[in-house]
Amino acid sequence: MLPLNEIANLFRGEYITKSSTREGDVPVILGGQEPAYYIDKSNHGGEIVVVARSGASAGFVSYWNESIFVTDGFGFEGKSGLIITKYLYYILKNMEGTLNAMKRGAGVPHISGEALTKIMLPIPQIAEQERIVGILDRFDILCNDIAEGLPAEIETRQKQYEYYRNKLLDFKVK
């Protein structure tokens, strides 16, 4: 078990407004489940896990592997040799309820970056992380890619995915 700040590099989003930018094809990650809008510049490229920082969606976890503009969120990149970024995504996604419960504040609730980076995470060897990511990625395709899975089985596979995700990510200390 290691704290998030020891296994991942923190990337803080930058403040931006839609009126101060030009339209483009780079998604702006504002904290919701979908990009807020699209602009012509990015502030991060490649793999990153984004945790929404404030508002009703504070604690929402998303994974990106493209150029994006992170604004109201914390981005995390796995440190080489310690954690695979996609594994970090699955671990944090599994803890989304816990992250959401970390919200503080009355008007616009927010998550403290300091508190977030102190969360303890189970970190198995890289080979085990790769195995877990491979299994969860296959379940994700079965659940969400209609071309690969049968639409009638999507709900069943989603439940199966959640069951195995929870089993794979349940590292009980003995």
CATH number at residue 7: 3.90.220.20
pLDDT 10s digits, 21-55: 899 999 999 877 789 999 999 999 889 999 999 88
pLDDT value at 56 more than 70: yes
Residues 130 and 86 in one domain: no
CB 39 within 8 A of CB 26: yes
Q: Are 25 and 45 in a shared domain?
A: yes
Q: Which residue has the higher pLDDT, 46 or 172?
A: 46
40, 115: one domain: yes
Domain end call among 81, 104, 122? 122
pTM, rounded to two decimals: 0.80
Clarify whether residues 80 and 146 are in a common domain: no
Residues 17, 76 within the same domain: yes
List, in order, residues 6 or more apart from 7 with CB less than 8 Å away: 78, 79, 82, 83, 88, 121, 123
Residue in 33, 40, 46 with CA at minimum distance from that of residue 85: 46
In the chain, the number of structural domains is: 2
Q: Does the structure show a pLDDT above 70 at 65?
A: yes
Q: What is the pLDDT of residue 151?
A: 61
Residues 110-126: tens digit of each pLDDT: 898 889 999 999 999 99
Using the predicted structure, report yes or no on whether residue 77 has a pLDDT greater than 90: yes
Specify whether 157 is located in the same domain as 106. Answer: no
What's residue 173's pLDDT?
Answer: 67
Minimum mean pLDDT range among 62-76, 93-107, 108-122, 153-167: 153-167
Same domain flag for 172 and 130: yes
Q: How far apart are CA 34 and CA 154, in angstroms?
A: 21
Same domain, 87 and 168: no
Residue 104 clears pLDDT 90, i.e. is over it: no
| 101 and 19, same domain (yes or no) | yes
Around 117, how many Cα atoms within 13 Å sit in the side-chain half-sphere? 16
Domain boundary residue among 100, 122, 144? 122
Q: Are residues 98 and 166 in the same domain?
A: no
Q: Is the pLDDT of residue 142 over 80?
A: no
What percentage of the chain carries pLDDT values higher than 90?
48
**3-class SS string, 53-119:** CECCCCCCEEEEECCEEECCEEEEEECCCCCCHHHHHHHHHHCHHHHHHCCECCCCCECCHHHHHCC
Owning domain of residue 73:
2-122
